[in-house]
Amino acid sequence: MADLTVFNSLSGKKEVFSSRKKISVYVCGVTPYDTTHLGHAFTYVSFDMIIRYLSYLNYEVKYIQNVTDIDDDILKKAKETDKDWRILGEENFACFLDDLQWLNIRQPDFFPRASDHIPEIISLTESLLAKGFAYDKNGTVYFDVSKDREYGKLSKINPEEMLTLLMERGGDPSDPNKKNPLDFVLWQKQKEGEPAWESPWGKGRPGWHMECSAMSMKYLGMPVDIHGGGRDLIYPHHESEIAQSEKATAKTFVNFWLHTAMLYYQGEKMSKSLGNMVFISDLRKRHAANPVRLMLLSHHYRQEWQYSENEITRAEKLNDLFKKGTTGKYFPKNI
């Protein structure tokens, strides 16, 4: 059999995949402050197919998908809805699991929650401080990007482009406590009314990027064979994960980076900020699961595409052809 090749976002080209039969996969999961949308579904259906194919090739896959249950977005939504952040997260995560089951997506081996891994996050932050890659300013700990000459090796963009994306994606380059606008938070000082944990720097909570590094290291070690997510996570999230993980350990963090393309709707990228979301809960009211899964799988995972009702109509016709072309005895209930 020919070698399996995989497109690696880090190198920008296809590379021969691991010959080892036990491999590790980490895919960035949801921040459960809302229900599942079609962009989420495209990412998780794509990785479901990738993992199924690896299993078919007799790879033994250990698959982890995190839950970002403590984050600016979920705290903001909890305040707006006057709900406890933990209850809000659990309710939306339950809906997410139900949507995964409906789409016949295999669950990972474990869904670690960020809030359950505070000791690991603190330990990793302490390591970066001890090695001079981070600094504490008034109870918030930052990663010092000026100390990392490789910062940007995944995204391959210049500092000006980084600043633009940082502002678009919830960063705070104007934070006066930062030495450099591109420095990112490892541990955030407690804000009034927000949950917090004790730390050597005072009460606070973990930075978004640090959560994934700590959890992937705990469950999969280093290097992780495949780390994936949507393309919008390349910068700043995955870029920052690489920096903090490799500087803390002096080891390669990930061998292969895989990223799914963005989904468009009504001429623009589907996003919560634009309000042009298509939720799985709404699709479930009008369509069966098989056509929705077929629609998602009909697109290459790295190719951007435009959603429309015609997409599902075509998938429904294809699903009907499958049914007519096979007997009920052999045609699976779910694909």
Q: What tokens appear for 209 in the block?
A: 């990027």
φ/ψ of residue 297, rounded to 5: -75, -10
How many other CB atoms are there within 10 angstroms of residue 16's CB atom? 10
Angle at 59 between CA 302 and CA 257, to 5 degrees: 30
Written as one letter, the residue type at 309 is E
- Could you read off the pLDDT of 83-98 as tens digits, one per residue? 999 999 999 999 999 9
Q: What is the dihedral of CA 261, 244, 247, 131, to 10 degrees?
A: 170
| pLDDT at 223 > cutoff 60 | yes
Q: What tokens appear for 42 in the block?
A: 């495209």
Higher pLDDT: 324 or 164? It is 164
Instruction: Write out the DSSP string of 90-142.
Output: HHHHHHHHHHHHHTTPPPPSB--BGGG-HHHHHHHHHHHHHTTSEEEETTEEE
- Helix 239-249 and helix 118-130: axis angle, to 10°? 70
Tokens 């010959």 correspond to what residue?
19
- What are the residue ranges spanned by the domains of the chain? 22-325
What is the fold of 22-325?
A: Rossmann fold (3.40.50)
Distance between CA atoms of 11 and 55, rounded to whole angstroms?
Answer: 25
Q: How confident is the model at residue 99 (pLDDT cuts 50, 70, 90)?
A: very high
What is the average per-residue pLDDT within 9-14? 98
Whether residue 236 has a cis bond before it, omega within 30° of 0: yes
Angle at 124 between CA 145 and CA 216, to 5 degrees: 100
- β-sheet bridge partners, residue 5: 16
Start-to-end CA span in the chain (Å): 26
| Eight-class DSSP state of 57 | T
pTM: predicted TM-score of the whole model, two decimal places:
0.94
- Could you read off the pLDDT of 225-279 as tens digits, one per residue? 999 999 999 999 999 999 999 999 999 999 999 999 999 998 898 887 788 899 9
Tokens 């930052």 correspond to what residue?
142
3 state SS of 15: strand
| pLDDT at 211 > cutoff 90 | yes
